[in-house]
């Protein structure tokens, strides 16, 4: 992509009403654009990052048999009334009537409709287990929404639902998902702690995936030896005794919850009639679990963890482009050639070909946007048939022969 | 994908409250699942088709310089009030207040927010032209929503917006998009007629892309010699004289509108302050156009055009899988081998490995789901080291040597 043609420009001013580092840097870099509190749009650079996060999630969830679907925002009042959640969740679920008096809810999660769907297709033990997931926007009536992508009123979620005949089968799959969640977080360069949390109305505990960060809204108590933690919301003597943990070995930290997985049991299948017939011909409710991870919140978390005073430092796995190529001294003809060669060999390049910007402005934009590798073509480097290469997370630049550039990058 | 593991099953019964062929076949085939009138979810097979349509659109729009973004469902009351459309569009736009009295609108189109975005990044003639698009769900308060994917309350749209310094530049790009729209429709095997329609509040005419079908809600008058048409809504003497068309040469037809493109002029840029500075330093409003094509409606249209009494007949470009492989007579070991070989060589295969289904049931499901090529492995075919191949849109099957299968498919 040529910066001269990119839809966005970097902005000088920080966004109003946003205090968080992620909102400031992502807005100034042209990754996101604000619509209202807690509601953001993804511009080309931002969508590129989001798609990379989503595709890592897809790869990992597909590998454990998840089948991708795409559900609706609009939720059916009648179905949510059957599980009592139309009323119970009315604080977080946007609900309204159209001009004929018909009720609409906006999805903040999808347990109800997926259970209805499953009841259309699952009838026998032979149909189990199953796992389906989607990546789509969710809506949540948040009183406060001032943390950029960390807490949105409209936000992207990956939600996975699994269906089982036995508790053992569910327990096995649940652990598989927990392992895969840790791998996803590792792949996007975010190190998380699996954390015991409230199971809400479903079960004793759920598991959260918490990323240590001062900006986080959660407080957790970490057992560093086991790399596990307990959320403050269930931090009490009963729970600690359950886990056989000693208070004195736990460290209190602030953290961002980027994922949460729940054993739902038969909470939804019983109310919505999702049953299967077992080997003996007996009808039983299907046992369910649900698993959420927030790609948008992850994107914000990555920025909170990976930045310096000049801008974002994207991990290579989710960077909008691998290379930020800058041409100086009007050497656009030479820059164009390198840009074309890199593109042809499959390297993702953001190319600053702008003729009306100074070297200083171009370097500042490269630091702000934060691609992993900066390559500069200038009169000085060309005299040595070279370009200057500098990693975003390192200080020193070095010269590299143009003839060896592709080899270096594909190493 | 193994049918034994697929989340969905084909259903015997037609959906209630749906009269259209597309809703019946897509529901029975397990492509879509209904949430409420005009609101559908995409199950794995349906999402596969939708993604293929979306990717064809992406390829074509990227090729004319469109940059993909992802905007929000929630719309800002203040911005829509500035263009007067908060009130003007209140019949089609879902609008509600949250529990603090804050207004929310759900996007049925995105001219307002994209104009605001553009004003953050476009200031000079050097920043023009630009074109951005997104593929996302839209919401429209439809009094009637009984045509399956043809008319939804929540539906997927591709919307493209372009920004220009001069009318000539806009006119050029508008024609490029019109050409690309015809190519997209050709690639998904839907033949459309470019149709003069009302320009609404924006300009004298807009252009619609109409697909001839009795189930369509539009009436158009076709000039067959020019392969152009006029929508009934602007079918009058003044318009015909404008076009220099003779009433007697026009043929009346029913049609489905799958795309619509508009010259917006400065309608939005003036009200929302999207200006650029020209070469002389003069400030001028940016000239805009918007272009919509509905991937979900296209999916429904394809089914309306391509089906027989047994099910769907997907064009190869959008079929959920290229091959529907069926194993009979318990020859699963042999079937598994062929399935693995096809997958390894990159052929998309839906594999009916179910052991509790009769040949008749399997053939009926293959016809209903509608993949382009059916391959059967049975005792009889294996005796000749062969499989039976039959195209979905042809009657006769033929034997093919297993050793030659990959060559035949990759031809």
Q: Report if residue A314 sits inside a domain.
A: no
Select from A308, A341, A364 the last residue of a domain.
A308
A90: helix, strand or coil: coil
DSSP per residue over B70-116, as a string? B--SEEEHHHHHHTTHHHHTTTTS-EEE-TTS-EEEE-S--HHHHHH
Place A345 in a pLDDT band, splitting at 50, 70 and 90.
very high
Select from B308, B336, B356 the last residue of a domain.
B308
Domain range holding A356?
Answer: 323-410
Torsion of CA A118, A122, A126, A132, to 10 degrees: -20
Interface contact flag, A69 B47, Cβ < 8 Å? yes
Encode pLDDT of B136-173 as tens digits.
999 999 988 889 999 999 999 999 999 999 999 999 99
> What percent of chain A shows pLDDT beyond 90?
92
DSSP per residue over A232-271, as a string? GGG-SHHHHHHHT--GGGEEEEEEEEEEEEEEEETHHHHH
Same domain, A170 and A247: yes
What is the DSSP secondary structure assignment for residue B261, as one 8-state letter? E
Domain count, chain B: 2
The residue among A130, A120, A84, A91 whose CA lies nearest residue A108 is A91
- Which residues of chain A neighbour B42 with C-beta distances below 8 Å? 69-71
Min mean pLDDT across A16-25, B176-185, B317-326 is at A16-25
Q: Report if residue B8 sits inside a domain.
A: no
* Contact between residue A196 and residue A243 where contact means Cβ atoms under 8 Å apart: yes
- The nearest CA of chain A is from the CA of B202 a distance in Å of 24
Torsions phi, psi of B61, nearest 5?
-75, -40
Residue A164 confidence (pLDDT) above 80: yes
Torsions phi, psi of A81, nearest 5?
-70, -35
Q: Report if residue B333 sits inside a domain.
A: yes
Residue A339 confidence (pLDDT) above 80: yes
Interface contact flag, B7 A69, Cβ < 8 Å? yes
Place B16 in a pLDDT band, splitting at 50, 70 and 90.
confident
Closest Cα in chain B to A73: B154
Which regions of B142-269 does DSSP assign to beta strands (E)?
Answer: 154-164, 192-198, 205-212, 218-223, 228-231, 250-265
| A35, A42, A98 member nearest B94 (Cβ) | A98
Q: Which residue in this structure is represented by tokens 């209140």?
A: B90
Same domain, B264 and B366: no
| A36, A46, A356 member nearest B74 (Cβ) | A36
Q: Which residue in this structure is represented by tokens 């594909």?
A: A410
Interface contact flag, A121 B153, Cβ < 8 Å? no
Same domain, B135 and B243: yes
Exposed, middle or buried, A142 (CB in 10 Å: 0-12/13-18/19+)? middle
- pLDDT computed for residue B204 by the predictor: 81
Q: Report if residue A1 sits inside a domain.
A: no
HEC states along A130-181? EEEEEEEEEECCCCCCCCHHHCCCEEEEEEEEEEECCHHHHHHHHHHHHHHH
How far apart, in whole angstroms, are the C-alpha atoms of residue B282 and residue B296? Answer: 43
Long-range contacts from B242-249, C-beta under 8 angstroms, 24+ separation: B243/B196, B249/B223, B249/B224, B249/B225
The residue among B146, B174, B133 whose CA lies nearest residue B295 is B133
Same domain, B286 and B346: no
Same domain, B272 and B375: no
Same domain, A224 and A247: yes
Interface contact flag, B67 A154, Cβ < 8 Å? no
Between chain A and chain B, the number of residue pairs with CB atoms below 8 A apart is: 132
DSSP per residue over B334-390, as a string? HHHHHHHHHHHTT--EEEE--SSS-HHHHHHHHHHH--SEEEEE-HHHHHTTEEEEE
Interface contact flag, B35 A76, Cβ < 8 Å? yes
- For the segment A64-82, the average pLDDT, to the nearest whole number, is 98
Structure tokens at A64: 């454990």
How far apart, in whole angstroms, are the C-alpha atoms of residue A6 and residue A357? Answer: 15
Encode pLDDT of B263-290 as tens digits.
999 999 999 999 999 999 999 999 999 9
Displacement of CA A1 from its chain's centroid (Å) = 24
Q: Report if residue B231 sits inside a domain.
A: yes
Interface contact flag, B73 A5, Cβ < 8 Å? no
| A8, A121, A139 member nearest B9 (Cβ) | A121
| Per-chain mean pLDDT for chain B | 96
Cα–Cα distance list, A255 to A19, A156, A252, A292, B117 (Å): 17, 20, 10, 17, 32
Q: What is the CATH number of the domain that holds B385?
A: 3.40.50.800
Exposed, middle or buried, A135 (CB in 10 Å: 0-12/13-18/19+)? buried
- The nearest CA of chain A is from the CA of B81 a distance in Å of 14
Q: What is the CATH number of the domain that holds B43?
A: 3.30.930.10
Select from B265, B283, B308 the last residue of a domain.
B308
Interface contact flag, A121 B8, Cβ < 8 Å? yes
Q: Report if residue B5 sits inside a domain.
A: no
- Which residues of chain B neighbour A94 with C-beta distances below 8 Å? 96, 98, 104
Interface contact flag, B74 A154, Cβ < 8 Å? yes
Same domain, B297 and B361: no
The residue among A301, A303, A326, A321 whose CA lies nearest residue A313 is A303
ipTM of the complex: 0.97
Same domain, A267 and A396: no
**Which residue of B16, B38, B41 to mutate against A (max A Cβ within 10 Å)?**
B41
How far apart, in whole angstroms, are the C-alpha atoms of residue A383 and residue B277? Answer: 38
- For the segment A116-136, the average pLDDT, to the nearest whole number, is 98
Closest Cα in chain A to B38: A74
How far apart, in whole angstroms, are the C-alpha atoms of residue A84 and residue A333? Answer: 66
What element of type H or E holds B11? none
Q: Report if residue A4 sits inside a domain.
A: no
What element of type H or E holds A58? helix A44-63
Place A204 in a pLDDT band, splitting at 50, 70 and 90.
confident
How far apart, in whole angstroms, are the C-alpha atoms of residue B280 and residue A277? Answer: 78
Interface contact flag, A74 B104, Cβ < 8 Å? no
- For the segment A328-355, the average pLDDT, to the nearest whole number, is 97
Interface contact flag, A120 B11, Cβ < 8 Å? yes
Closest Cα in chain A to B129: A5
Same domain, A304 and A380: no
Q: Report if residue B1 sits inside a domain.
A: no
- pLDDT computed for residue B200 by the predictor: 74
What element of type H or E holds B213? none
* Whole-prediction pTM: 0.97
Same domain, B238 and B366: no
Residue B17 confidence (pLDDT) above 90: no
- Which residues of chain A neighbour B9 with C-beta distances below 8 Å? 121, 127
- Which residues of chain A neighbour B153 with C-beta distances below 8 Å? 74
Which regions of A313-385 does DSSP assign to beta strands (E)?
Answer: 323-327, 349-352, 373-377
- pLDDT computed for residue B410 by the predictor: 81
Interface contact flag, B141 A99, Cβ < 8 Å? yes
A291: helix, strand or coil: strand
Same domain, A146 and A98: yes
Place A137 in a pLDDT band, splitting at 50, 70 and 90.
very high
Same domain, A333 and A394: yes
- Which residues of chain B neighbour A104 with C-beta distances below 8 Å? 94
- For the segment A135-164, the average pLDDT, to the nearest whole number, is 94
- pLDDT computed for residue B199 by the predictor: 84
Residue A203 confidence (pLDDT) above 90: no
């Amino acid at each position: 992509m040529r910066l001269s043609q990119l839809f966005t420009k970097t902005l000088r001013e920080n966004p109003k009403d946003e205090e968080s580092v992620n909102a400031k840097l992502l807005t100034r870099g042209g990754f996101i654009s604000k619509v209202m509190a807690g509601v953001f749009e993804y511009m080309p650079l931002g969508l590129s990052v989001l798609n990379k996060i989503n595709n890592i999630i897809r790869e990992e969830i597909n590998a454990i048999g998840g089948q991708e679907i795409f559900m609706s925002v609009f939720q059916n009042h009648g179905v949510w009334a059957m599980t009592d959640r139309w009323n119970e969740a009315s604080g977080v679920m946007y609900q309204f009537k159209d001009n004929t008096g018909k009720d609409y809810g906006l999805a903040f999660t999808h347990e109800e409709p997926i259970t209805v769907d499953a009841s259309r297709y699952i009838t026998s033990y032979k149909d189990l287990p199953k796992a389906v997931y989607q990546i789509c926007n969710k809506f949540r009536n948040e009183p406060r929404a001032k943390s950029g992508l960390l807490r949105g009123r409209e936000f992207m979620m990956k939600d996975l639902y699994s269906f089982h005949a036995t508790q053992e089968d569910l327990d096995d799959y649940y652990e598989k998902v927990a392992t895969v969640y840790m791998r996803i977080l590792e792949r996007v360069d975010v190190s998380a702690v699996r954390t015991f949390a409230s199971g809400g109305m479903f079960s004793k505990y759920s598991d959260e995936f918490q990323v240590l960060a001062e900006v986080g809204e959660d407080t957790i108590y970490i057992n560093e030896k086991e790399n596990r933690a307990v959320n403050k919301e269930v931090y009490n003597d009963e729970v600690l005794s359950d886990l056989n943990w000693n208070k004195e070995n736990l460290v209190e930290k602030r953290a961002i919850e980027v994922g949460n997985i729940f054993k739902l049991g038969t909470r939804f299948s019983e109310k919505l009639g999702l049953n299967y017939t077992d080997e003996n011909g007996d009808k039983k409710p299907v046992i369910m679990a649900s698993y959420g991870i927030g790609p948008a919140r992850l994107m914000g978390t990555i920025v909170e963890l990976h930045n310096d005073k000049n801008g974002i430092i994207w991990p290579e796995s989710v960077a909008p482009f691998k290379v930020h190529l800058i041409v100086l001294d009007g050497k656009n003809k030479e820059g164009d050639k390198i840009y074309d060669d890199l593109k042809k060999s499959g390297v993702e390049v953001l190319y600053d070909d702008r003729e009306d910007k100074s070297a200083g402005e171009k370097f500042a934009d490269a630091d702000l946007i934060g691609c992993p590798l900066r390559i500069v073509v200038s009169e000085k480097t060309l005299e040595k048939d070279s370009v200057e290469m500098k990693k975003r997370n390192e200080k020193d630049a070095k010269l590299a022969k143009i003839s060896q550039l592709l080899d270096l990058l594909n190493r």
